[in-house]
Amino acid sequence: MEIIIIILSTVILSTSLFIFWVAKGGFNKKYLYTDNIVLFIVASVINVGIYNLIKMPLWVITPFISGFIVLIFFIALFFYRFFRNPKRQIPGDKNDIVSPADGRIIYIKELEKDQIPVSVKKKRIASIKEITKTDILEQPCYLIGIAMTLFDVHYNRAPIDGKVIMVKHTPGSSIGLNTPESTLVNERNTTVIQREDGVMVGVVQIAARWVNRCIVMAKEGESLKRGEIFGKIRWGSQADLIIPRNCEILVREGEQVYAGSTIIAKLLED
């Protein structure tokens, strides 16, 4: 009976932790049926083993020891998920624009000519007007926001083949996004890539809570292949993609996308 109680408490603790991050952290629901199952099975085995080896009251093993073991393995899963860099098969052809980041599509906005775009994260607005230092907005375009959770791969990949014509770093703080001025002062990078035929796309990396390291490894003048890694952001964050309006959008809001392997849009032939 004691072992059943230990297992049930471990399942409840693990599942509650994942439900919290799905609801509050934007985690993909699939983790409830993948990582969560792995976590509570491993943690249950360890908790039962501890109980059999070290005689202690049930109220100590549950919830204190069980909770500690679950938390330790959750953190281990986080570090595995966050720092991994899986190989990606790059689908489609040169006219297919791939996602620059792993994450969830939070908005797809149409921007008119000369309109200064803004990035909305958790319904708060952050200016990304530095993008207007290029002529990327001389024609109508789309602004697509991708929210990256702690469990997403945080390497960013080039949406198209082309040359890096601008890398603009805007230094800032990493105050919480629940502070109204946070999205005006947090760190960001804007990278603009141009194809040989003149088509340009922009990627804006925006730092989130406790984040002050948006990194672009690519240099201005460097050529990138579609799907090639050009940067990364530490911890949770957001990547905004700016593409021309003469595209067919192939994703929708709420969809999970993957850097380099999800086709966001297709450029239409003139």
Task: Cite the active site residues.
Answer: 237
What is the Cα–Cα distance from 224 to 218, expressed in whole angstroms? Answer: 8
CA separation for the pair 190, 170 (Å, rounded): 8
Q: Which residue in the block uniquely carries the two structure tokens 């991708």? A: 146
Strand pairing report for 188-194 and 162-170: antiparallel
Which residues are CB-neighbours of 220 under 8 A, at least 6 positions away?
Answer: 164, 165, 166, 167
Distance CA 99, CA 158 (A): 8
Helix axes 66-83, 35-53, angle to 10 degrees: 140
Sign of the alpha-carbon torsion through 85, 88, 93, 96: negative
CA-CA distance, 50 to 1, in Å (whole number)? 16
